[in-house]
Structure 1
Amino acid sequence: MSSFINSEIFNSWLSTFLSIIVESLPFILIGSIISAIIQLFLKEETIKKFLPKNKIISIILASLMGLFLPLCECAIVPIGRSLIKKGVSVGTATTFMLAVPIINPIVLLSTYYAFSNNLSIVFLRAFGGLFISILIGLILEILTKKTQVIKNDTDYLSSCDCGCENLYMKSNFFTNLKNLIDHTSKEFLDISRYFILGAFLAGIVSVAMGSLNIDFKNIMPSMGIIVMMLLTFFLSLCSEADAFVAKGFLSSFGNSGVIAFLILGPMLDLKNVILLLGAFKKKYVFSLMFLTCSILALFSYLVLFFGL
């Protein structure tokens, strides 16, 4: 009997783990290719020219740039730092870093696909990502100056190992193709190792929740939001595929917990915090962390309160 139960639990975990991997890998691959193309063609100067001088309008436009720039998450922090160095305001660059990993077609499409055409989850993720990133950008625009944000070049060490800073297009076609393949493969492998670990742990958590029969959604929905925020922070999943992990928690945590998971992860996880601490001063990073977590928690509680 014991071996049957163990076998049943293992099979349940294996089924969850493999389904997450199989469903998500195409989105990770597509995202890696598009991100590599953008990294090769697009420079920070081009982004700066596109943004208007009016800071409020600039922040709003920065929140929407993910619709056209589905960049890899490891490149967001170095690009955000470069934008500030080139004269883009702190609020605009911050909004850009927070919104781009959420507001892009691949992420929204994968969310739509993962949740079986559930438009409410897609809408809440997109709206929440936009609202929170814009609000944080406006607050930091008021409270923070450029000189208080970025580290000196001598202190800066990017943790991104994909080489995206040095892959702008050359004149030689074969060199460009080699760089494209190199960037895509490195990013795909980097994202995949985090995601496979995340899927492995998510399968364990999903099976454990089913076995223990802990229903945060009906018993402790407020606590469920905090649990999901902690989980997404430490899993450090790619935003192009995290929805496939999150859908396994929907029955236990409800929309509010899942939304907290889907919004916080792309904005702020363990991997990105390490990158942020390498590129920006601690005061800015800790302010960003506090604002992101507190505003997202409030937004998630509103989702819970109104039963969205």
Structure 2
Amino acid sequence: MPFLEKVTWNDLMNVKMIFLSIIIEALPFILVGVFISALINQLVSEQLIARLLPKNKLYSILPACFIGVLFPVCDCGIVPIARRLIKKGVPLPAAVAFMLTAPIVNPVVASATSFAFNSPAIMWLRLGMALLVAICTALCLGNIFRSPELRSQAALQDYEHPCGCNHGADCQSSWYNRCLNVLSDSCNEFFEMGRYLIFGALLSSIAQTFIPHTIMTSVGQDPTLSIAVMMVFAFFVSICSTSDAFIAASFSGSFTIASLLSFMTFGPMIDLKNTFMLCHTFRPRLVLTLVLLTSLLCFISAYLLHILLQGVLL
């Protein structure tokens, strides 16, 4: 093939170096993230979260946005948790706000973002953008839908742990079994998320090596096209929120800060794997509305940030 004939040894070495640098930087954070997620899955019940939230539909949205600070959960398992919260009486807007913010507004992701960009300002911008999008989305959905919009109960079987309980926090087994379950959940989630990290890092390294710098710059510096491209990339690559900052940081030389923020905000909220879980859990009209609202609000927020940040960070 003509393309392969043009590939040199230096190109392959460049791909390898970029790929390994992303993996090595992200690995500690994804390990911490999956362990904390598994620990919370075993020790924290949805009943506890439900008790922490007000029953009022409007007043419950803001506290729900900060639950992730206390109970950081990976975006890969957030949809089943949101479903169980709704089944326990949590209002739909609060469950949606929790589902959108918990994978981003938590200490693990905040630390990873600050480390990846070597800039606390980027971390705060990401957290602020996530909160803004989540609150606006939850308020809109609360006005549009009056019911939980869950699919039939027959299609919603709760995940069972090896000990046979419906959720790790409700388990009455010994602490030894709980520790084994934590390790088992951590290993399963690490290998599940590791493949997405590897796939995303490989795409990033290939793109930065083989796409001409002039094309990358022309796309990446366009205020609207860059945001759209990074949101589409985030949707299909489906990278875990504990490591997506390192993928985004690898594009910092070509793409605007606003477009990288859209990548780090939209991806943990709506991606390909989460969309399948949403379709399995909620009725199609809510899933379609949620995806469209989140996409639109992420794009608008990123574009407004681009205007506000011109001359400051850009």
Alignment TM-score, normalising by the size of structure 2 = 0.91
Give the drift of 1:58.
1.0
Worse-superposed segment, 201-210 or 298-307: 201-210
CA RMSD of aligned residues (A): 2.1
Cα 1:165–1:220 shift into 2, 3 Å: farther
Quick check: 2:161–2:167 contact (8 Å CA) kept in 1?
no
Matches within 5 A, 1:75-90: 75-90=77-92
Give the drift of 1:204.
1.1
- Number of paired residues? 304
In 1, distance between residues paired with 2:45 and 2:282? 20
**Aligned equivalent of 1:127:** 128
**Aligned equivalent of 1:192:** 194
In 1, distance between residues paired with 2:112 and 2:221? 30
Give the drift of 1:14.
0.7
Give the drift of 1:111.
0.3
The structure 2 residue matched to 1:53, chosen from 32, 52, 55, is: 55
In 1, distance between residues paired with 2:161 and 2:268? 18
The C-alpha deviation readout for 1:201-228, integer Å capped at 9, x for no partner, is 1111222345454314675221011000
Give the drift of 1:69.
1.0
**Aligned equivalent of 1:6:** 8
Cα 1:12–1:213 shift into 2, 3 Å: farther
Which has a greater percent of helix? 1
| Alignment partner of 1:25 is 2:27 | yes
**Aligned equivalent of 1:150:** 150
SS of residue matched to 1:176 = helix
Give the drift of 1:170.
3.1
Give the drift of 1:51.
0.6
SS of residue matched to 2:265 = helix
Gap regions ≥5 residues in structure 2:
none
Give the drift of 1:22.
0.6
Quick check: 2:65–2:102 contact (8 Å CA) kept in 1?
yes
Percent identity of equivalent pairs: 35
In 2, distance between residues paired with 1:298 and 1:27? 29
Quick check: 2:65–2:131 contact (8 Å CA) kept in 1?
yes
The C-alpha deviation readout for 1:70-94, integer Å capped at 9, x for no partner, is 1122221011011111111110000
**Aligned equivalent of 2:115:** 113
The C-alpha deviation readout for 1:15-40, integer Å capped at 9, x for no partner, is 11000111111101111111111111
Give the drift of 1:145.
2.0
**Aligned equivalent of 1:261:** 263
Q: Which amino acid aligns with 2:116?
A: A
**Aligned equivalent of 1:70:** 72
Quick check: 2:50–2:90 contact (8 Å CA) kept in 1?
yes
